[in-house]
Structure formats: structure tokens, C-alpha cells
Amino acid sequence: MALETDFIVIGSGVAGLRASIALAESGGRVTVLTKDKASESNTEYAQGGVAVVLAEDDNPELHEEDTLVAGAGLCDPEAVETLVNDGTKYIKQLIVWGIEFDKEGDKLLMGQEAAHSRRRILHAHGDSTGAEFVRSLMARAAAEKRINLTPFANTESLIISEGRCVGVRFLDPVLRGPREIFAKAVIMCTGGAGQLYQHTTNPPVATGDGMAMAYFAGAEMADMEFVQFHPTALSLENAPRFLLTEAMRGEGGILRNKYGERFMPNYDERFELAPRDIVSRSIVAEMRRTGTREVYLDMTSKDEEFLKHRFPKIYETCKAFGLNIATDMLPVSPASHYCMGGIRTDLQGRSSVAGLYAAGEVTCTGVHGANRLASNSLLEGLVFGARAGEAAAGDRPKSQVPSPRSKDQSERSDSRSAVISTAVKKRVKRVMWERVGILRDRDSLVRAIREFEQISASNLGTSSRNFVTLALLVSKAALWREESRGGHYRTDFPDQAEDWRVHSVQRIGESISSASRIDPDSASAART
């Protein structure tokens, strides 16, 4: 028997929780589906903090300018203005709701991170900001009786009827089988797709299913070629690629090569505080120059007590692997971290499919451009999660929840849908890392696309199909963009070109087109 609710939210990170709260406050019944435990998301793992204009020496214009510079000419100014101005409002609201940011006495502690012109980064419990976001938003959501949180409910596909998204098909954790739920609107908040790559800081759940589901439902995808690689992931054999936050360099961390030499002055005048794409490429260049697989992050100039207090989670994790961050050089190398591209939405989270909204890393609003500014991701999830929830509540049709007997629903997926084939995952991740990674060129991209198309021709379950499809979207967009900009670097087109200052747009069954700004209602002009 099919289920009914007013709104479905897929994902329980900062965007999903904030959207759920906005929907519940509108008076609607909200069902939140997550494919793992409710707290398992990229939000939970966010260490660096959240950027917000609260300091006396800061202002929205400075934060906007820093974001635009990091975005390498591809941010949409209106989206950035919305992020910065609404961000202050929603962070203040979170403080009222009880989030516990770090303080010195009665004053909020403000940190510095790469490419920020001011100390505007709030942290919680040192390096556990994301976890504190989840805790505080979960507590607020728990106070809303209209929110029904359903963990371990893996969403398989969206249900489309007469061009409108009317529900989802998911695996019921109790019945252990597929089930359908119908609603007036669906809000996709499933996060990014860092798991596409062999080396990533993302948790296992970050496989990009939400992006693929939206794509197969007919939604437009934008800027899929732009993937951010975090410069400093812990690089130890048989250890996870644990993120060593940007804030460590903000607090004076120095990058050194195998000879102990500081090398960033050779690559950028901002040294270790250059934007992430530049630092990542500089590390790759230095590793190639010295014939090594890692460089080193040096925090030894800082007092151990300071480091233990400022980075408690990192301190304990490194200690478990036999490293003292106060006395040892920490081996690091880049890893995939964040997707700037995703479901193309307007500033209210509306996709190009009626009834389908989205917020957070799963989207492309134009906020991040070609390269996300450090610590803008939690802010984006908070701001656009709230805006998407408010828009879905305000736009909802006057009619009742759509009938479960809709005619043109997509076909039911098979029983293999919940799991990505081990062989598919391993092959895709390796090819993505080697051919669609930090440095790209035409020959490597063409070979990657050919290999992914061969995999796609196999008899795949839904999740495996989603995984390969996303790899194809990223690869094809990277081949299409014949320039280097932000997180996308082509060794055969190393320069940034003004006539490529456009967003890539992909839609199922169509060739890649371009758009000058993010707006699902505007027509995409095909690039000649």
C-alpha cells in the first residue's frame, strides 16, 4: 500500500533538516528519508566551520567579494548576495535555537581560512562544527511533531506524473522491500558525490544518488565538471582519507615537501592560504617534482595544548595512527571533497521539474561558481534549505496529494538497486581519479567516457546505474569545457577564457548547452 504525506525531504544533513523545519512550520506533514542513520551525512564530517558576517571589522560586501574571487568568475552575484545576507540571519537564528559555537568569554571566536579577507569562520567544539549543526538542528526538528524521520530508507527513484514530481520509491526498512510515498512536493537534500573518486574525504553515503535520480526524472544539471579537491587529506597506508581542515593552515600550518622545504611560495603569493584548487594543483606539481605520493603539513610551531583544544578530533584521530600533530610532520595529499555542480535550481530551490526542489551540495545555485570558498558549504545548506522549504510550502498545489494510481510513473527498479556493485564502484572510482581528476586532458577524458559507456551498457541495478551516470556527466562536462577555471583544470587548455564564462547545462537525451546564469525558467542557449 502506498503512503501519503504533504512533503518528502530526502536527506538529513544541514539542508534537509533546515528544509524540514521550514515545511513543518508551514503546517505540513513532513517525511524525511535517509539511506543511513539520520546523522550520517557530509554535514556530520564538516570540520572547518561556517563563514558568516558577524565581526565588527567585516561586512557583507567583503564576504561577497571573497566568494566571487574564489569562484573564478562563474558565481552568480545574486546567489552570492543571498547567501551572505540571509546567512547572517539564519546563523543568528541557530544561536537562538541553541547551537554552541566556540567562544572566548562572551565573544564568539572567529577563525581565518584560505581566501577569506577577514576572520569570519565560526567553529564548534574546535573541529566538530558539522556535528554540532546536526545536533542543534535535530533538536529543533524533534520539537516539530509534524516531522517523521525515517532512517535506513534508501530512496531508489522519483515518481513523475504528467511532468510533475509527485513522490518517491524507496526501500522500506521495516518491510525490507520497495514502497512508494506520494506528496505535494519533494525536496532533494542528498549531498554530493565525492565517492566517485578513489581518494575522498566524503563518507560512504556520498554517492550522488540524488543528483542521478533528478537527472533521470528530467531535471537540468549544471556545472558538473567542477569538483573541488581538498588539498590536505591525511595520507597514510591502510587509513581513511581523513580531512585535515583548512583551518589548520589558517592557524599557521605550513606545507613542506619531502626535503622539509616550504614550497607554496613558489606557486602562489598567498602561500598556504591560496584557494583550494591552487593549493591542490601545487601539491600535485610538488609531488611530481620530488617523486613522492605525499607532502607534509607542519603544525609544529604551535603549542600542543593549543592544538589539542583547537583541533580535538584531528588530534585524537592522528594520535590513533601514531602521529602527534604538535611534533610530527603530517603526510597529506589531495582528495575529492565537494561538488560545485548539481541539480540546477533558482534561489528558492526550484528545479526545472515541477514539484521537485533541492538544497545543499546536491544543487547548483551559482553560489560557488567554479570553486567553493572555504566554509561556505554549511552556510549554503542552512540558507537554501530554509528557502527551499519555504518555497515548497508556498508553491504547493491547492489539490490533495496526487493519486497513487498515476499512469506515467517510472518503472519499478529491481532488487539489486540498493547496493552499488563492488566491481562497478572500484572501476569507476579508479578511472575518475586517474583520468577525470585534478589534472585533465582530452585524451584521458575521451578514454574515461568510453569506459563508462561500456559499463553503462551492462545490466546494472539502480544504484550502480546512478553511479556510472554521474561519472559520465562529470566527464562529458569536463571534456566540453575547453579552458581551465577553478576546480576544473585542463593541461591542454591551461588558460581561463572569457567566452567560457558560462554554466554547463545537461539534460537527459540532449547535448550539453550553456547558460549565462542559473535560472531553470530561462532557456539554455546551445553553444556552437
- Residues 235, 335: Cα–Cα separation, whole Å: 9
Cβ pair 187, 388 in contact under 8 A: yes
- The answer to whether the Cα torsion of 267, 234, 371, 477 is positive or negative is positive
The single residue listed with the C-alpha cell 571533497 is 337
Residue 60 CA to residue 41 CA, distance in Å, equals: 29
Give CA separation, 2 vs 14, 167, 396, in Å. 28, 10, 20
Q: Using an 8 Å Cβ cutoff, are 221 and 342 in contact?
A: yes
- What is the pLDDT, as a whole number, of residue 528? 31
According to DSSP, the β-strands at 30-33 and 7-10 are parallel
Which pLDDT does position 406 carry in this prediction? 43
Alpha helix segments (H runs only) across 342-412: 377-395
Report the pLDDT value the prediction gives residue 125, as an integer from 0 to 100.
85
Let me know the angle formed at the C-alpha of 12 by 411 and 144, rounded to the nearest 5 degrees: 110
> What is the pTM (predicted TM-score) of this model?
0.90
The verdict on domain 229-337 having CATH code 3.40.50.170 is no
Those residues with Cβ within 8 angstroms of residue 264's Cβ, 6 or more apart along the chain or in another chain: 254, 255, 271, 272, 274, 279, 282
CA distance 181 to 170: 8
Rounded (10°) CA dihedral 87, 521, 29, 37: -60
CA 60, CA 65: separation in Å to the nearest integer? 9
The C-alpha atoms of residue 477 and residue 506 are separated, in whole angstroms, by 8
Task: Given the residues 29, 135, 146, 276, select the one marked as catalytic.
Answer: 276
**pLDDT of res. 115:** 78
Q: Take residue 12 and report the three cell numbers written for it.
A: 538529513
pLDDT at 331: 97
Closest-CA residue to 141 (of 189, 208, 71): 189
Question: According to the model, what pLDDT value does residue 448 have?
Answer: 98
Structural domain spans, the chain = 229-337
Question: Any alpha helices (H) in 51-128, and if so which ranges?
Answer: 60-70, 77-97
* 276 catalytically annotated: yes
Whose CA is closest to 344, among 519, 82, 167? 519
The tens place of each residue's pLDDT in the chain, 528 residues long, gives 689 999 999 999 999 999 999 999 999 999 999 987 765 555 555 556 899 999 999 999 999 999 999 999 999 999 999 999 999 999 999 999 999 999 988 899 998 777 789 999 999 987 788 889 999 999 999 999 999 999 999 999 999 999 999 999 999 888 888 999 999 999 999 999 999 999 999 988 899 999 999 999 999 999 999 999 999 999 998 788 888 988 899 899 999 999 999 999 999 999 998 888 899 999 999 999 999 999 999 999 999 999 999 999 899 999 999 999 999 999 999 999 999 999 999 999 999 999 999 999 999 999 999 999 989 999 999 999 999 999 999 996 654 566 655 444 444 444 455 678 999 999 999 999 999 999 999 999 999 999 999 999 999 999 999 999 999 999 999 999 999 999 999 999 999 999 999 999 999 999 999 998 776 654 344 333
Angstrom distance (rounded) from CA 189 to CA 18: 10
Q: What are the CA-CA distances from residue 129 to residues 90, 247, 443 (Å)? A: 16, 12, 41
